[in-house]
Structure 1
C-alpha cells in the first residue's frame, strides 16, 4: 500500500521554512538621524552627531521617504566626500542610511555592504550596533550567507546584558537549519519555543514549522508527530490533519492514521488527488472496500482523480473485494483497455466465470493470452478449461487444462479438473451414444 511516507508528508513544509521565518521576523530597521540625535542613552562613550551632518542626512532621509532613491544616494555621496572630517558615529549613520535606501530598493547585497560598514565604525552606541547586527543577520539569512548570519547574531549576543530574545534564537536556528547543521538548529529552535511557552505565550506557527522540519531532517518521526499535534491544536489548518495522518502511517500506527484521515474527510479537508487516493487505500486495507469504491467512484466522477489505469484498476479491486462483481466488470474492462499486458483481462475472465457468463469468460481470457505478459499464465488456461467444460466443449476444456498443468502454480488444480472433466466426458459420450442408438 502506498501510504504517504513521512518524507512525502514533509517535503512541502521543509522547503517553505526560510520564507516563513524571514517574514515573521522584524523587518530591517532604519535608524533615523532624528532618532539618534534624540536618544543618546548608551553604555559606551561615543562622539556626538553634529548639526551640519544631521541636516544632510535628514535631507537624504526626506528624499528616500519620497521614493527618490537616486537623489537620496547623491546627497549621501556628497556627505561621504567629506568623510575625512567625520567621526565614527557620523560615519556609522551615513552608512546606515545607505543601507536603508539600498534595502528599500531591493539591492540587498549593497545593503549588506553598507550595514557591514556601520558596525566597523567604533565607537558607536551599543543599541545602534545591535540593531544593525540584527538587520545584517536577517539579510545574510535571506541571501543564503548562513555562517555570516550566525556570526552577526553572536556578535549581537556579545553586546546583550539580559536574556536572548526568542526571535534571535529562531533566526539562529534557521541559519543552522539552512546550513544543514540540524542538531544545532534543534537546540536553538527548541530553546526559543520552550522559553516563549514558559512566559505564558504561544509559539509562532512559523517557529513550530521550523522545529518540525528540523526533527524531520534528524529522522525523528515521533517528534515530528508531536509537533504536528501541537500545530493542529493551536492553528487548526486542514493540511496538519493530513500530515498528522501520514506520520501515524509512518510510525505504523494504522488505527490512528485511519481515524485522523476519516476525521479530516468528514470535515471536508480531503480534497487533493493524492489525499483522496490515500484515504481510499486506507478504506481498502481496513476492510471497508465498499467505502473505498464509493470514494473512488465519486472522485473519478467529479474530476478529482483521473480516469487512468491505476485509478480504474484500484476501483475495480474495491468493487470486487466488496462482492459487487457487476459493478466491478465495466470498470475493470475500462482499465483493461488501457493496459498493455493481459493481467486485467485475465481477472475479468475470472469474474465472468464466477458470474457464469462462459462466452465472455472465454473471450476475456483469450484476449489476456494474446496480450501476454501474464503474472499467472497457468490460471488463465485453467479459467478457459472450466469455461469450456461448462459449455460441454470437453476437448477444448481438456486441452486448456493440459496447458494449465505446465504451470506449477496451477498444476494441482488443473490435474483435479482434468480427471473430473475426463469422467464427465465419458459419461456424456456414453449418454450421447445411447441416445443415438
Structure 2
C-alpha cells in the first residue's frame, strides 16, 4: 500500500497547497493545464502548526499519537480540511486500517481543493485502496477519475483495470485495457499478456489464446513456462503438429517442470501417429520420478507401447497397472498380448488371473485361454476353457466352432476329452 513519505516540519509547511476546480468527465487539456499553473494555497497558521507537530510525532515513530493529534483538528476551510483528511488517510493506511484510510482520502478529494499533484496522487490512492479491498467496480471508476483529472495514461493503471474486470468475471472487458497497458509499457510485461490469455481462455476463444501464447514465446524466449503453456494451448485448437514441435523444444531445453508436460508431449506423439516416442517419453519420466507411478500413468505407458506394437512390453505395463487394484480387465489385456506374441504359459497365468478376479469379458478371456492351452497341446484344458466360452452369448458361436476343432485335434492325437 502506498505510504506517506516522511518530511521535515518546515518542508511540510511550505508545500501544503491546493486550488479550486470542478471535476471533469473526461480529460480537458486546457483545464488540466490551468490547474497545473494555478497559484497554490497554504494552510492556515493554526492548523498548519498542529499538522507540523503531528509530523514531528510521526517522524519519531509515534504514529498513534500523530493520528490522535490530527483528529483533534477542526479546520475552518475546505482546503485545510482536505489536507488533514489526506494525511489521516495515509496514516491509517500505514496502520493497515484501510477502511478508515479510504473514508478519509475519499473525503479529501470530494471538494477538489488540493493542489494538482496532491489531488492527482490522492485520486490514485483512492483507487488503490478500493482495489486492495477488492471493491473492483469502485476501483475502476476511481482509476478512470484519475485519468480524467490528470489527462495521463499509465500502463500499471490500465493493467489494474484489466485485472479488476477479470476478477469481476467480465472477461470481454479485460482485453481493451490490457492492450493499452501493453502498448504503454516501456518494456514488455508478461503479466499484461497473461490477463489476455486468461480472459480469452474463459471466453473459449482458443485461437486468440494461441496468438497471445505465440507472442509470449517471441518476447520472452527464455521463460520456460511460455513454451510449455503454448504447447498445451495448441491442444485446445487441435494443432497437434505445432504443439508437438513446441513441446519437443521445451523438452530438449529442460523446461518441463510438471507431470502434465510429459503427458502432453506423449499425447502429441500418439495423436501424430508416433506412439513409440510417446511410450519412451512416459517410460523415462516414470523411471526418473518425473511422473508419479500411478495406475493411470502406468496404463498410459502400456497403451502407447500397445499402439507401437511392442506387445510384450505393453503387457508388462498392463500387468503392473492391474496390480494397483487387481484390475481384471488389465490382466486380461496383458494375457491377450502375451498370447499374440506366443508367450503361451505367461498368457495362461494372466488370463486365469483375470477370470479369478471376475472379468466381465469372460467369453473372450476363456477363448484366449483355450487358444493358449491349445498351442501348448494341453487339449483337455483347452477344451474346458472353450466350453466355458460358450456360456457368453458374445462368443458362443465362435466357441462352438473352436470346440469342435479342439476335439478333433485331440482325437487325432489319441487324447480323450
Same fold (TM over 0.5): yes
Alpha-carbon distance in 2 for matches of 1:356, 1:293:
23
CA contact (8 A) 2:13 2:48 kept: no
1:67-78 correspondence to structure 2 within 5 Å: 67-78=61-72
1:344-355 correspondence to structure 2 within 5 Å: 344-355=330-341
Cα displacement (A) at 1:426 = 3.5
Q: 2:4 aligns with which of 30, 35, 47?
A: 30
Alpha-carbon distance in 2 for matches of 1:55, 1:227:
56
Structure 1 segments of 4+ aligned residues over 6 angstroms from their partners: none
CA contact (8 A) 1:29 1:131 kept: no
Q: 1:119 aligns with which of 93, 109, 112?
A: 109
Q: 1:140 aligns with which of 119, 125, 130?
A: 130
Superposed CA offset, 1:367-419 (max 9, x none): 10121243x33221111110121232334323322443454654565455345
CA contact (8 A) 1:45 1:123 kept: no
CA contact (8 A) 1:341 1:372 kept: no
Alpha-carbon distance in 2 for matches of 1:158, 1:123:
16
For 2:327, the equivalent position in structure 1 comes to 341
Q: 1:216 aligns with which of 178, 194, 201?
A: 201
Against the structure 1 CA distance between its residues 261 and 63, is the aligned structure 2 distance closer, same or farther, given a 3 Å change threshold? Answer: farther
How many residue pairs get aligned? The number is: 395
In angstroms, what is the RMSD of aligned CA positions?
Answer: 2.9
1:255 aligned onto 2:244: no
1:108 aligned onto 2:98: yes
Q: 2:266 aligns with which of 259, 280, 302?
A: 280
Against the structure 1 CA distance between its residues 220 and 63, is the aligned structure 2 distance closer, same or farther, given a 3 Å change threshold? Answer: farther
Q: 1:240 aligns with which of 226, 249, 264?
A: 226
1:169 aligned onto 2:169: no
Alpha-carbon distance in 1 for matches of 2:94, 2:80:
21
Alpha-carbon distance in 1 for matches of 2:128, 2:275:
53
Against the structure 1 CA distance between its residues 40 and 76, is the aligned structure 2 distance closer, same or farther, given a 3 Å change threshold? Answer: closer
Alpha-carbon distance in 1 for matches of 2:125, 2:13:
17
Superposed CA offset, 1:235-268 (max 9, x none): 3321111111111100011111111111110110
Secondary structure, counterpart of 1:317 in structure 2 = helix
1:54 aligned onto 2:48: yes
Name the structure, 1 or 2, with higher relative contact order (CA <8 Å, separation 6+). 1
1:390-409 correspondence to structure 2 within 5 Å: 390-407=375-392, 409=394
1:155 aligned onto 2:145: yes
1:299-338 correspondence to structure 2 within 5 Å: 299-338=285-324
Cα displacement (A) at 1:167 = 3.3
CA contact (8 A) 2:344 2:375 kept: yes
Structure 1: stretches of 5+ with no match in the other structure: 1-26
Structure 2: stretches of 5+ with no match in the other structure: 20-34
Alpha-carbon distance in 2 for matches of 1:115, 1:106:
14
CA contact (8 A) 1:46 1:89 kept: no
For 1:421, the equivalent position in structure 2 comes to 406
Q: 2:342 aligns with which of 338, 346, 356?
A: 356
CA contact (8 A) 2:17 2:41 kept: no
CA contact (8 A) 2:182 2:192 kept: yes
Secondary structure, counterpart of 1:356 in structure 2 = coil
Q: What TM-score does the superposition give when structure 2 sets the normalisation length? A: 0.84
Alpha-carbon distance in 2 for matches of 1:74, 1:330:
77
Cα displacement (A) at 1:46 = 6.7
Alpha-carbon distance in 2 for matches of 1:168, 1:289:
49
For 2:22, the equivalent position in structure 1 comes to none
Secondary structure, counterpart of 1:338 in structure 2 = coil
For 1:6, the equivalent position in structure 2 comes to none
Secondary structure, counterpart of 1:339 in structure 2 = coil
Cα displacement (A) at 1:118 = 0.9
Alpha-carbon distance in 2 for matches of 1:152, 1:230:
31
